[in-house]
A and B are shown apart, each in its own frame.
Chain A
Amino acid sequence: MQLIKCPWCGPREETEFHYGGQAHVEYPAEPAALSDEEWARYLFFRDNPKGRFAERWSHSHGCRRWFNAIRDTATYRFEAVYRPDEPQPVNS
């Protein structure tokens, strides 16, 4: 179990959090214009890197807010956490 730093509450135990998968997946700007192939890409296809990954977490047993994190999927180390309205940190 590791400590995860909620941007609002500070470091809390991993069990307080809920994982939300890849971050920065934009809802289609023109949903009606999408082909089946494009819908499949939006719904089902996500990155799955071994290494740094921008992903969403929710502090579900705390402030209940969503935030983003840069985490290394090989080491599980959190390299950055940032609020949804903040840009993805450079060099990450």
Chain B
Amino acid sequence: MSTQYLDATPPHTPGADLPEHPDFLWRNPEPKKSYEIVIVGGGGHGLATAHYLARNHGITDVAVLEKGWLAGGNMARNTTLIRSNYLWDESAAIYEHSLKLWETLDQDLGYPILFSQRGVLNLAHTLQDVRDSVRRVEANRLNGIDAEFVGPEDVKKLCPIVNISDDIRYPVLGATYQPRGGIAKHDYVAWGFARRASDAGIDLIQNCEVQGFETDGDRVTAVRTSQGTIGAGQVLLAAAGHTSTLTDQLGIKLPLQSHPLQALVSELLEPVHPTVVMSNAVHVYVSQAHKGELVMGAGVDAYNGYGQRGAFHIIERQMAAAVELFPVFARAHLLRTWGGIVDTTPDASPIVGRVGYENLFVNCGWGTGGFKVTPGIGWCLAQTLAKQEPHDLVEPFGIERFVSGVLVDEHGAAGVAH
């Protein structure tokens, strides 16, 4: 392989590049009687959509309704990985669109998001893993996405603490490597989008739980909330794992199953982990946060759940895998664990587009990988709402595919088994 990516300097003192908190974030307005567009869900996707509605289309008669506090759901719970090395053209296109937006998002938002392109390794542990990985690398390159397959020695150069000995249960046989992948600071991403949307005149309404809908023929006319009924010209549901609880109230069934997905962090450590390492086979993914915590995730818990927690044995397996791959972790202390609720689909790809009603759009089914697409999907949803027809990049993800059979089967590249 080329060595151009192998001399990356490790991150400097943990926390040194964290900016001060800003004095002003966003307004907290009372809801108006009605809006041109009502977005349900004040997480990353909802806020990004609001931002791009104002920025790209000049549409600001918009409310973002959040049942709790802004970005307090999966946006606050995810492991912040960003990459675009998906297998199929449809997925590669939207994730790469998003990655390009990440690369200039600081300037766009006028707010630091600490996007750190430290590279993402997806490890291969079996011959079949290797074949699948090489296939994906070639597919990525055909789509103009930076990717290469690296051997165990190069894995070691990129991330020196990985155990590449061949006498472990699942030896490292190589990895895909996407140098432009990395992490960002999730809170700052949300705050950046929220601040710009609010500045532009969009109302971000917290503690506003959607309790039902009013419809007239083939249109949704209003959203009933804990802060009263709010009229809506168009409605976008961007509620991640809780989308089914909303569509159930409209009598719309979606092919979604909601599962707990757990993550955890260690105490703060000196910089030891200069890149992002993912492993589907042994099921752990690790990066080191800007402050110094090791951030780890695993697969979803098998059962359906909305409890924002999961079973301990999942964490136990994940830690066992982590310690085998990274023996130095054996001395790290676990600081905290948590769970988010992710909505999975039969083909591990999202459902985006119009469902059931003329003016009702959903954005759901992102499973375990919604964070990385935050700017990209916001961009596409804003155009979808502005023009009332799906943006080209989300068109393949319409719900019709479950009838037509044109699935986008990303189980192999989704990163986490679900």
Contacts and interface: CB of A to CB of B under 8 A. Distances in A.
A50 B245 contact: yes
Given A36-B403, A40-B402, A45-B255, A55 B313 contact: no
Contact of B253 (A37, A45, A76): A45
Interface stretch (A11-19, A24-32, A81-89): A11-19
Contacts of B302: 18-19
Contacts of B256: 48
Interface in B262-315: 302-307, 311-313
A14 B306 contact: no
A81 B248 CA distance: 26
A42 to B, nearest CB: 11
Given A37-B403, A40-B403, A43-B346, A74 B307 contact: yes
A82 B235 CA distance: 41
Nearest to B257: A48
Interface string B385-410: 00000000000000000111100000
Contacts of B306: 50, 73-74
Interface in A37-84: 37, 40, 43-50, 53, 55, 71, 73-76
B258 A44 contact: no
Contact of B346 (A18, A37, A44): A44
Interface in B241-257: 242, 244-245, 248, 253-257
Contacts of A75: 307
A18 B302 CA distance: 8
Interface residues of A, number: 25
Contacts of B248: 49
Contacts of B311: 1-2, 14
Contacts of A15: 313
A7 interface: no
A46 B303 CA distance: 13
Contacts of A46: 255, 257
Interface string B219-259: 00000000000000000000000101100100001111110
13 contacts: A1-B311, A14-B311, A18-B302, A36-B403, A44-B346, A45-B402, A48-B254, A48-B256, A48-B257, A49-B248, A71-B303, A73-B304, A74-B305
Interface of A: 1-2, 14-15, 18-19, 21, 36-37, 40, 43-50, 53, 55, 71, 73-76
Which 4 A-B pairs rank lowest in CB-CB distance, beginning with the nearest? A19-B302, A48-B244, A44-B255, A40-B403
Given A1-B313, A45-B402, 5 more contacts: A1-B312, A14-B313, A19-B302, A53-B304, A74-B306
